[in-house]
Amino acid sequence: MLNLILFGPPGSGKGTQSEKIIQKYKLVHISTGDLLREEVANQTELGMKAKKIMDSGELVSDRIVIGMIRKKLEEHRAGPGFIFDGFPRTVAQARELRKALTDYDEEISVMISLDVPREELVKRLLNRGKETGRTDDNLETINNRIDVYEKQTIPVAHYYDKMRKYVPVDGMGSIDAIFKRIVKVIDQLK
Which residues are identified as catalytic?
A: 14, 89, 128, 134, 145
Are 115 and 166 in contact by the 8 Å Cβ rule? The answer is no
Sign of CA dihedral 56, 61, 66, 67: negative
Segment interacting with ligand ADP (CB under 6 A) among 20-28, 30-38, 97-105, 109-117: 30-38
Q: CB of 119: closest distance to ligand ADP in angstroms?
A: 16
Q: Is 53 in the site for ligand ADP (CB under 6 A)?
A: yes
Are 145 and 10 in contact by the 8 Å Cβ rule? The answer is yes
H or E stretch covering 166: strand 166-170
Segment interacting with ligand ADP (CB under 6 A) among 54-62, 99-107, 112-120, 159-167: 54-62
CB of 117 or CB of 187, closer to ligand ADP? 117
Q: Is 65 in the site for ligand ADP (CB under 6 A)?
A: yes
Segment interacting with ligand ADP (CB under 6 A) among 74-82, 83-91, 171-179, 180-188: 83-91
Q: Is 159 in the site for ligand ADP (CB under 6 A)?
A: no
Q: Is 100 in the site for ligand ADP (CB under 6 A)?
A: no
Amino acid identity of residue 103, one-letter, is: D
Residues in the chain: 190
DSSP 64-125: HHHHHHHHHHHHTTTSSEEEEES---SHHHHHHHHHHHHTTT----EEEEEE--HHHHHHHH
Q: Is 13 in the site for ligand ADP (CB under 6 A)?
A: no
Phi first, then psi: give them for residue 110, nearest 5 degrees: -160, 150
Quote the DSSP letter at residue 153. Answer: I
Q: CB of 146: closest distance to ligand ADP in angstroms?
A: 9
Q: Is 36 in the site for ligand ADP (CB under 6 A)?
A: yes
By CB under 6 A, name the binding residues for ligand ADP.
10-11, 32-33, 36, 53-54, 57-60, 65, 86-87, 89, 93, 136, 145
